[in-house]
Amino acid sequence: MHLSSTQKISLAALALGLLSFSKTQAQAVETPKPPKMVPEMTEFWEPEPRKVTPGVNNAAPSDAIVLFSGKDMAEWKAKAGGDTKWEVKNGAFTVGKGDISTKREFQDFQLHIEWSAPDEVKGTSQGRGNSGIFLQDRYEVQVLDSYNNRTYSNGQAGSIYKQFRPLVNAMNKPTEWNVYDIIYTAPRFKEDGSLFTPARVTVLHNGVLVQNNVELKGPTEYIGLPEYKAHGKAPISLQDHGNPVSYRNVWIREL
Ligand code: MG
């Protein structure tokens, strides 16, 4: 059989095509080899955590903002305006007239605050050594003399007032100091003002876990159910509930 040159070229092209086709097919069925696992594959070096010098005996770590070091109320103001009317004495300050707030505003943070119920045991239930720490000016971690003083569980020391009772009662005696370490994640809101993610709080009372990453239902309400309203950064506020509760060694780390 005689083939024209054009036919010869076509046949050659067909043969080449078949060849490359079978080659592609062969590659497709070949299982890719998994990379060889080595320890370094799961070791990440960047970013390197920055260095923080921890404080000794509850002192502020090197990156904390000191809100009260024992001397003055420079970081605080009266909520009603002007200077606070809370007395500083012996390295502590005591609840005076009116609520107070930090001058600075915060979002997510780690707060260390020490407090003492009045030495003189007076009153019962919510009337004994009542104050409170309002995170972002809205969400109260209750301060109360809960040493041999029954009240509603979600209103005792270490509670998120009227929302979550503390897991345990880790209260020290009225003449002793209590320590709160509070880890707070602020709520986030959508552009239309509705809630995106709720506030979350962890509280250690004298080193004992009393609130384990609870999701707050909204701002603290004395009467009725809480409802979130969009807000941004806000101060830490302390409550004047008419009882001479004292505070000392207050520092905060922004997260
Ligand atoms: Mg209170």
Summarize pLDDT for 137-147 with one digit per residue, the tens: 999 999 999 99
- Name 107's Cβ contacts closer than 8 Å, sequence gap at least 6: 136, 186, 232, 233, 254, 255
d(C-alpha 51, C-alpha 61), whole Å? 10
Scanning the chain, the segments in alpha helix (DSSP H) are: 5-29
- Tell me the residue type at 173: K
What's the mean pLDDT when you consider all of the chain? Answer: 92
231 C-alpha to ligand 1 centroid (Å): 22
Break the chain into its structural domains and give their ranges.
65-254
| The CATH classification of domain 65-254, taken from the options 3.10.620.30, 3.40.50.280, 2.60.120.560, 3.20.20.70 | 2.60.120.560
d(C-alpha 65, C-alpha 204), whole Å? 20
254 C-alpha to ligand 1 centroid (Å): 24
Closest CA to 173 of 243, 96, 121: 121
SS (H, E, C) 9-42: HHHHHHHHHHHHHHHHHHHHHCCCCCCCCCHHHH
The reported pLDDT for the residue numbered 18 is 47
Contact (CB, 8 A) for 220 and 72: no
Please tell me the number of Cα atoms within 13 Å of 6 on its side-chain side.
0
Cβ neighbours, 10 Å, residue 228: 18
Cis peptide before 61 (omega within 30 of 0): no
The pLDDT tens digits for 20-54 are 545 555 556 788 888 899 999 999 999 999 999 99
The reported pLDDT for the residue numbered 230 is 98
Tell me the pTM. 0.86
Give the pLDDT band (50/70/90) at residue 155: very high
Cβ neighbours, 10 Å, residue 56: 6
The pLDDT tens digits for 169-190 are 999 998 999 999 999 999 999 9
d(C-alpha 238, C-alpha 235), whole Å? 10
213 C-alpha to ligand 1 centroid (Å): 20
The reported pLDDT for the residue numbered 8 is 57
Reply yes or no on whether the pLDDT at 72 is more than 70: yes
- Determine the straight-line distance between the first and last CA of the chain, rounded to whole angstroms: 86
Q: Please state the separation of Cα 175 from the chain's center in Å.
A: 29
83 C-alpha to ligand 1 centroid (Å): 22
113 C-alpha to ligand 1 centroid (Å): 15
199 C-alpha to ligand 1 centroid (Å): 19
131 C-alpha to ligand 1 centroid (Å): 4
242 C-alpha to ligand 1 centroid (Å): 10
